Structure 1
């Protein structure tokens, strides 16, 4: 099954506008998941046979705001994407996830420094065989409308997501659970979101979900998967209230969460406001009373930040040097390694020249990544030499991409070996509509033209994802992957796996039986340490096939106002960790 792609545009950094998604990519062609992915895997498992230590009930978690003095203040933030829903089951882009991170709580959360998962709503997550998982939920938790947060709350959410005709973005996350396939059926969704079912599903609930008692959920997977517990902090696994299922459209605009903040009002396209929920009982709550997000939809928020109307922003590329040269501004800058991969995809399903590996090598070695980044995204990205972020998740290692070096002579030789570029034709570069992305890929196109003599044109389009999933591209296309959970598998299987042996996978047309086998071997490993090694083998196979060209990994950067303190960026999304943020008195 092919996974949806989401946009990775964070609320703070310009580079986020270049990030496409883990789940794939919003208004741009990027995506974000919101779950961090680094540090030793396996800390989310417990139970004999799992081969991992228990996640614990919060040990090692960041200190929460409930124990800190709360400031009667409103933090003013930015939404760079066209946010269209706050329904957890349908939210898989960076800005949606950033909002939902304080509106909802998941079974696990991720340490912002190490990205290790730790239990949060879950009291315990245990398995003996990595196939049957028992999840115990903390007692006494409620949604903001008073409904209990219990096993039924998770089961109803997961069943709604898994039911194909509901057509939610996070549907594919549940394909590992028994009973998923009978819930799919066949359906079509038009541009307005209207779903027409052509073949009814034969089931409406996952057979692999069993409510053992009000606070215990048993999950049976179709096959062992050592990384299952690491997935459970992702937005798609959040619980939902029954009232939310009864009024899905209303919940998409004003969700009924179980987190420390509740949505007050959302003027879509303009502002979203939220306030502290007095009924919150868990330890991690922001130390302020309100949040106001202003929507910019890809436009720069920097002028408003300079005017004092926004608390967190980043300068556009043209003002980057100026901002960093300002002692006052640079003293209020925070930065950290990112994890979103920007890469070039090829329409392998179109045949020549894209299905020729020498052509793909030529494109890659013709790109002067270092110079382009220094010009367009100084300090906000680094050249990529792998498909998995190095040192960011277990198994990530630099240098797995042999042809990611800049080598014009080798690029010309590879192009000649591929038979050259068709005379008189122009290479189209497809991407989403975003000013910074267009600058970035214009520079990439210029580098290709300079070193290979191939004329190009940019095709920025607002319906990037629809065109990609319908195989409507005629040339190369910009992609971005932002991980959903801390495992190298998440950079590989969702993007390149699950395809048809003849037609390949949906977005690229890629398929390799050895790659599929390596992923399955990782899934079947008895513990995460061994699984990581098998997934690394899959990356080596991917490197030999070279179906895509890694271009850059994000660097998280944000400038913040004088009234903020303890500004910490999520290691993957780059957005501010609101539960750690403080307001100066």
Structure 2
């Protein structure tokens, strides 16, 4: 996931006054909300935790964005980072960074939000045995390797970590944190608004299981109750002191499977929803709904991965080319989700983060004849076998990937079957796939590096990247050159070179870029969509009659 310093043009409702940084950026609360109003939202996946260091999917992040505050936040119009909890973030060499934290900030239990709060959170996240989902975000900080230990192929610990804190973290004084990286990285400050870098109260670490369900945040909303799998409620924290706080009183999230939330939205029980494919045309032709519809360019990239760690036709680049050119991306979008997706032809979404440009994928255009030629060069598909396409249980994605499979079968004659499973993410991490699989990425911070290094780099020439089994020494060298650049502009250019190497190796097939779209109820106004996740910016919303 990623972000950076480039302008993104969004179709936005007008922003009312409110907080933000001193330059007028940010998403401070609007002025028209009802203090007693409740915002009604949905969670569309099985959320298991609300620990920031263990949350790296859209729904967790959406909740945590109003329960916690980070060192920086991202401007919803430009995606540029601006200081929020941080008073300043500076470095003379891009290796040693000094972070000054605003004074007198508190957690919701009264503990101080200070340098210790960030240090203990980052140390806990970086300690390998804690198995936090955002562990890898700390690999740039000195001492990370000593905290990991080693495991065998079955996941058994063979060597215990030699340290339980990052040697590169130094609490200079209560308001100052010094961070030493393993090498220069011009984009470090850009990362620090991501969920994994949020602070943690000591009371949370004292009872981590309780905190995963009842977090002690430092943001404008406080979790009141979470009945997992049913609903989650949060109320505005009256002692919040920073600028960006909504003026409505509560949020209630109801948990759903897939797009089961659309009927509840139509019945007036939810304030936001997007229709499933079968309802898209009807919604587009409803004049009343169209008055409460918003769209804007998105950053989420859906692509087709291959189990390169396993023998199969996909290990031949000509086969991967054939699959890509056999997919009629535009035809699929027009039939199922017009206006909600655009065909992808790059590994970094254009115009969303610095360095994102279109057209880097040479084989992402539908070309039936070229696809057949490439398949022939690869030796064809094994007779009598079906190609399994793995994915999660989501109604829209299943419809999309059925269309992808149909396009491949019609063009190349390869029979297929879909394998939608609840434990998709666990199976992907365990390398338990026997064929191509659906994957998706939206950036955590605004830099083209975030579409590349976290997804494809590994430093493991033997096993390659965990999810795909991809490894390229040239690619990793190009990423390293970007990391070591003197400034962000030079870094962006080096990361673009890394994308060119990825394009030549073609380990995955870019498919669709999501356009951010949603319908909203008559109870809300000042709707602005996050350019990365596509979710409404909750701190900007005005809510009435809740």
Shorter-chain TM range is over 0.9
Contact 1:112–1:569 (Cα < 8 Å) also in 2: yes
1:161 is the counterpart of 2:125: yes
Post-superposition offset of 1:287: 1.8
Q: Report the aligned-residue RMSD.
A: 1.8
2:214 and 2:469 mapped to 1: Cα distance? 39
The correspondence for 1:396, drawn from 356, 366, 372, is: 356
Match of 1:99 among 63, 83, 103: 63
Aligned to 1:183: 147
3-state SS in 2 of match to 1:71: coil
Deviation at 1:69, TM superposition (A): 6.0
Counterpart pick for 1:139 among 80, 93, 103: 103
- SS of match in other structure, 1:263: strand
Decide whether the 8 Å contact of 2:276 with 2:395 is kept in 1. Answer: no
In structure 2, what is the Cα distance between the partners aligned to 1:69 and 1:379? Answer: 31
How does 1:537-552 map onto structure 2 within 5 Å?
Answer: 537-552=497-512
| Aligned residue number for residue 39 of structure 1 | 6
Post-superposition Cα deviations, 1:260-292, rounded to whole Å, max 9, x if no partner, equal: 000000011111000010110000001201000
For structure 2, the residue ranges without an aligned partner over 5 or more in a row are 9-19
Deviation, 1:437, is 1.4
Question: 1:31-73 CA distances to partner (integer Å, 9 max, x unpaired)?
Answer: xxxx6556269xxxxxxxxxxxxxx954232352287765320
Structure 1 residue 249 displacement after superposition: 0.5
What is the alpha-carbon distance in structure 2 between the residues aligned to residue 37 and residue 78 of structure 1?
28
Q: Distance in 1 between matches of 2:124 and 2:516?
A: 34
**1:72-123 deviations in Å (ceiling 9; x for gaps):** 2000001001011001110111000000000000000000111100000000
SS at match of 1:178: coil
**Match of 2:15?**
none
Residue 470 (str. 1) matches residue 430 (str. 2): yes
DSSP 3-state at the match of 1:65: coil
Q: Where does 1:328-347 land on structure 2 (aligned, <5 Å)?
A: 328-347=288-307
Residue 483 of structure 1 is matched in structure 2 by: 443
Of the three residues 32, 42, 46, the one matched with 1:78 is 42
Shift of residue 346 of structure 1? 1.0
1:558 aligns with 2:518: yes
- Displacement of 1:377 in angstroms is 1.9
Q: Residue 202 of structure 2 aligns with which residue?
A: 242
Distance in 2, matches of 1:159 and 1:188, equals 24
Q: Deviations over 1:436-495 (max 9, x none)?
A: 211111110000000001111111122222222222211111111111100000000111
Instruction: Calculate the TM-score normalised by the size of structure 2.
Output: 0.95
- In the alignment, which residue of structure 2 is the partner of 1:510? 470
Q: Secondary structure at the match of 2:76?
A: coil
Residues 147, 163 of structure 2: 8 Å contact kept: yes
Question: How many angstroms does 1:424 deviate by?
Answer: 1.6
Cα offsets for 1:523-566 (capped at 9, x unmatched): 00000000000000000111111110000001111101112110
Residue aligning to 1:151: 115
The answer to whether the 8 A contact 1:36-1:573 is kept is: no
Pick one of 418, 423, 433 that aligns with 2:378: 418
1: distance between equivalents of 2:36 and 2:312? 62
Query: What's the secondary structure of 1:118's corresponding residue?
Result: strand
